[in-house]
Copies of this chain bind each other. A is one copy, B any other.
Amino acid sequence: MKPFENLTGAEKEALYKSLREEFDRVCGKKLKLNMARGKPGKEQLDLVSGILTALTKPEDCECDGIDARNYGNLSGLPAAKRLFAEILDCKPEQCFMGGSSSLQLMYDLVAKAWTHGLLHSPQPWCREPKVKWLCPAPGYDRHFAVSKSFGMEMIPVPMTPQGPDMDLVEELVKDPTVKGIWCVPKFSNPQGFVYSEQTIARLAGLKPAAPDFTLIWDNAYCVHEVYGEYLPFPDILSLCAEAGNPDMVYEFASTSKITFPGAGISVMAASEANQSYLQSLLTFQIISYNKVNQLRHVRFLKDKAHTLEIMKQHAEVLRPKFDCVLDTLEREIAPLGLASWEKPKGGYFVSVNTLPGLAKRTLELCAQAGVTMTAAGATYPYGKDPADSNIRIAPSYPGLEELAQAIEIFCLCLKLAALEK
């Protein structure tokens, strides 16, 4: 195989014809393959079936003198806070335990800012003429969707392998209408980058003009290694406090990719002052999130060490899938010079950058061939990838055989898209 740029016109034509025939054959198979979402596969869910029987009798439902079955304890079970405090390296009293969705906790934080304002807000954000938000890009589409839903002006910030471009971030936060930033510090979505120590220190030490600037620290993949040993991370709450920004950061995590995505628990960690303020509002919204499920997780996950053991089992399932994607890209695409990609150590995605202008067309062809992928552009604010280049591959859900088929088809479509140009 030669790089496409070195092919003659006739070679290109012949290649296009043969690939197109293959493509038509694939389309004829009416496949339904999905690499769209970071959704664990059945084998992973079966790994954690023990959580279904973690509590079976009334007496199992008591912990620290609290009957988890009954009303009360707005901020959640102390034992669940201790578990997450150990994982995140913060204090139990800095943890608020949520339901099955950390996205919901993030959305609700923004909603509270909108309707009531945050601890240091001069007024509710709905009264602000404009709210701007920093969006490291490529990034997580659901983050950007929250910002969009509230009508924020999203400002893309380029991602680097060390994290968001901090020179730019430090410049942008001088604007008092810039109210926050989305961050996925470990195994960022989609590239799998791990923020460097220096990036994290600069984020913790930001001097934003907005008194209620909000660092949303979505630690979604905090224990989600795929390759290699567990990678420790610093406690962002302490770092912000030490830098004089104790109330700037809200950290989120969940068990969605540790136990069950549709039935896990979530946490929002924040300074005691933030907790006290937010809980004074949350008390009108809910009596508590599901405490029986919190206790199930405490009994099943036990502690950080045991959680990491479970994550190793997940990694055993995920690794061959990541290998499959990376190996196929290496074999089919690398020699042609059509795209580059990251080799993540963890998280749920492989982020591919095609030559400019190929992403949309590649995914159109994938859809025709029965392979569903996250829409092109989804990793950018407003769905606008300026280079039409970034594609997020989610290898976790399909079985290995299906995945192999899907990624082959993806490579085929990328080649076709390149030849069409």
Q: Chain A interface (Cβ within 8 Å of chain B)?
A: 37, 39-40, 42, 45-46, 49, 52-53, 55-58, 60-61, 67-73, 99-101, 103-104, 107-108, 111, 114-116, 124, 126-127, 142, 145-146, 148-150, 256, 260-263, 281, 283-293
A103 & B286 in contact (Cβ 8 Å cutoff): yes
- Cβ–Cβ < 8 Å partners of A40 in chain B: 70
B68-A107 in contact (CB<8A): no
Give the chain B neighbours of A150 by CB distance below 8 A.
115
The interface residues of chain B lying within 8 Å CB-to-CB of A68 are: 262-263
The reply to whether B52 and A55 form a contact with Cβ atoms under 8 Å apart is: yes
Complex CA gap A46/B61 in Å reads 11
Kindly list chain B residues whose C-beta atoms are within 8 Å of the C-beta of A293: 263, 290, 293
Q: Report chain B residues within 8 Å CB of A55.
A: 52
- CA A55 to CA B55, docked complex, whole Å: 11
Least CB distance from A3 to B in Å reads 39
Q: Whole-angstrom distance between the alpha carbons of A127 and B127 in the complex?
A: 8
CA distance A124 to B286 in the complex (A): 23
**Nearest Cβ in chain B — how far from A327, in angstroms?**
26
Taken together, the copies of this chain in the complex come to 2
Q: Contact between A285 and B39 (Cβ–Cβ < 8 Å)?
A: no
Which residues from chain B contact A290 at a C-beta distance below 8 Å?
Answer: 99-100, 262-263, 290, 293
In the complex where A100-B289, A290-B100 touch, is A52 in contact with B46 (Cβ < 8 A)?
A: no
* Alpha-carbon separation in the docked complex, A309 to B351 (Å): 54
Closest to A262 in B: B291
A57 and B52 contacting across the interface, CB-CB below 8 Å: yes
User: Can you list 6 A-B contacts with CB-CB less than 8 angstroms, sorted by A residue number?
Assistant: A42-B58, A71-B261, A101-B288, A146-B284, A263-B290, A263-B292
Contact indicator A260/B115 (Cβ below 8 Å): no
- Shortest Cβ distance from residue A290 to the other chain B in the assembled complex, whole angstroms: 4
Residues of chain B contacted by A262 (CB below 8 angstroms): 67-73, 287-288, 290-292
Which of B52, B145, B284 contacts A149 (CB under 8 A)? B284
A49, closest chain B residue (CB): B58
Least distance between A146 CB and chain B CB atoms (Å): 5
* Complex: chain B residue closest to A292, CB-CB: B263
Contacts of A145 in B (CB 8 A): 283-284
A149 contacts across to B, CB distance below 8 A: 116, 281, 284
Partner of A285, one of B37, B72, B104, B281: B104
Q: Report the Cα distance A368→B37, complex, angstroms.
A: 58
Closest to A256 in B: B71
Q: A115-B126, A290-B290 are in contact. List 16 more A-B contacts (CB 8 A).
A: A39-B70, A42-B58, A49-B57, A68-B263, A70-B260, A70-B261, A70-B262, A71-B262, A73-B262, A100-B289, A111-B115, A114-B115, A145-B284, A148-B284, A260-B292, A261-B287
